[in-house]
């Protein structure tokens, strides 16, 4: 029997597995990125005001998400990492260092496009309090990423503050992860339906060991006509309910995906994992259109000793042979697809600035197409 936390979020919202959608692969305990040991997630959600846009006052539909790759006391220890930009109409700070050395340290934050700098700098402010020795005699290049929420949110009002970033980082925890319109995903839209934050995980057996791979997405992309659920082309059947906008504007969409694993993988292998995220996106109908910033980061929590090897000694790292990496590719694609669908299913209708309205993916359609699992 599927575990209760595979069916519902901590707030009781349905997840994709509440319906008989036939997902492939074995999910972890929480079916979340937090199934990877020591990885934690925190949110601050800002949702207030209605009516006409008044810049600086609202309506506000935004927030910040924090992902910690290690416990706070170990955040200075780098994690091996790789990145891939399938379409570069977006931002992920720290990317040049990751490309150069195949690693990063400190937390990851995800927010709206115009608050990306705030969450980056807020992370450094938080580190100076939470782990001052980590940046006392060095520099900090934290990872911060963004997607655009200006259809629903007063994005130019700059409502995300340093204090919100610190609250999200302080609140990061393991266990089940809330999904939908929370954190940085609060104002996001996917395939013309309300979306936002989503996550999923897969277990991978290799030799006599079992590793965990988790994916977290901030989902904000795609055209309605392309929506696909486990191979069923659903978009043409879902022209209604429609998005309603007060003032038509150019489409702006993106997806950020964070892949975490405890499997020992080297930076070039993690880049290969990041390159597989677009396959999971494509399985839902995402085709990487011009305005979409599709940027993906993969990291491994293994090999902490290798990442901190002192000068003058040979460093050694374990890794799964390249010839055995295919099951990890499977896990990335499957968890990405499910995380995107979770961001859609765990959601409700939302009205934002200027009366702009975004419907939720109709549960009646899902129940008819994929009957309830319980």
Domains and CATH numbers, the chain: 16-309+317-348 (3.60.70.12)
Q: Whole-angstrom Cα distance, residue 335 to residue 279?
A: 11
Residue pair 65/110 in contact by the 8 Å Cβ criterion:
yes
- Which of 359, 340, 244 lies closest to 285, judged by CA? 340
**Residue whose pair of structure tokens reads 């597995």 in the numeric block:** 17
CA gap 12, 7 in Å, rounded: 9
Residue 288, phi-psi category: left (phi > 0), alpha (psi -120 to 50), beta (remainder):
left
What pLDDT shows up at residue 249? 59
For residue 309, what pLDDT is reported? 82
Q: Which two tokens stand for residue 372?
A: 């309830």
CB 298 within 8 A of CB 273: yes
* Phi, then psi, of 235 in degrees rounded to 5: -50, -50
* Residue 158 zone, left/alpha/beta (φ > 0; ψ -120 to 50; rest): left
Query: Which residues does the annotation mark as catalytic?
Result: 254, 292, 294
- Spell out where the chain has E strands: 40-48, 60-68, 79-88, 103-104, 108-112, 143-147, 189-190, 193-194, 197-206, 209-220, 228-229, 232-233, 253-261, 292-300, 350-351, 357-358
Q: What is the pLDDT of residue 250?
A: 54
Using 70 as the pLDDT threshold, list the residues of the chain that sit under it: 1-2, 137-138, 246-251, 372-374
**CA–CA dist 297, 39 (Å, integer):** 14
* Tokens of residue 185, six digits: 């995903």
Rounded Cα distance, 56 and 2, in Å: 45
Contact between 34 and 178 under an 8 Å Cβ cutoff? The reply is no
Given this model, what pLDDT does residue 57 score?
A: 97
Whole-structure pTM value: 0.96
Q: In whole angstroms, give the CA distance from residue 65 to residue 68.
A: 10
């Amino acid at each position: 029997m599927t575990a209760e936390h595979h069916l519902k979020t901590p707030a009781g919202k349905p997840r994709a597995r509440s319906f008989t959608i036939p997902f492939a692969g074995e999910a972890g305990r929480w079916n979340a990125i937090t199934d990877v040991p020591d990885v934690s997630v925190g949110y601050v959600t800002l949702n207030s005001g209605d009516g006409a846009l008044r810049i600086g006052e609202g309506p506000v539909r935004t927030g910040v998400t924090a992902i910690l790759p290690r416990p706070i006391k170990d955040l200075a220890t780098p994690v091996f990492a790789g990145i891939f930009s399938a379409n570069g109409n977006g931002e992920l700070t720290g990317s040049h260092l990751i490309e150069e050395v195949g690693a990063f340290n400190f937390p990851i934050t995800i927010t709206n496009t115009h608050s990306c700098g705030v969450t980056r700098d807020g992370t450094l402010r938080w580190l100076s309090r939470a782990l001052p020795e980590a940046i006392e005699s060095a520099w900090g290049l934290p990872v911060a990423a963004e997607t655009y929420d200006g259809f629903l949110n007063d994005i130019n009002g700059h409502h995300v503050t340093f204090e919100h970033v610190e609250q999200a980082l302080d609140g990061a925890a393991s266990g089940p992860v809330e999904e939908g319109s929370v954190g940085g995903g609060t104002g996001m839209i996917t395939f013309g339906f309300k979306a936002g934050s989503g996550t999923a995980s897969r277990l991978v057996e290799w030799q006599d060991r079992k590793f965990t791979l988790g994916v977290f997405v901030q989902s904000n992309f795609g055209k309605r006509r392309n929506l696909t659920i486990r191979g069923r082309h659903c978009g043409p059947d879902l022209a209604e309910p429609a998005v309603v906008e007060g003032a038509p504007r150019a489409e702006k969409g993106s997806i950020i995906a964070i892949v975490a694993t405890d499997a020992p993988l080297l930076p070039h292998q993690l880049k290969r994992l990041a390159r597989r995220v677009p396959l999971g996106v494509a399985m839902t109908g995402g085709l990487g259109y011009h305005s979409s910033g599709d940027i993906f980061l993969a990291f491994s929590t293994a090999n902490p000793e290798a990442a901190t090897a002192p000068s003058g000694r040979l460093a050694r790292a374990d890794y799964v042979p390249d010839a055995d990496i295919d099951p990890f590719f499977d896990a990335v694609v499957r968890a990405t697809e499910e995380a995107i669908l979770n961001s859609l299913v765990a959601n409700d209708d939302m009205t934002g600035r200027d009366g702009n309205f975004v419907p939720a993916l109709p549960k009646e359609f899902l129940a008819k197409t994929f009957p309830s699992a319980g």
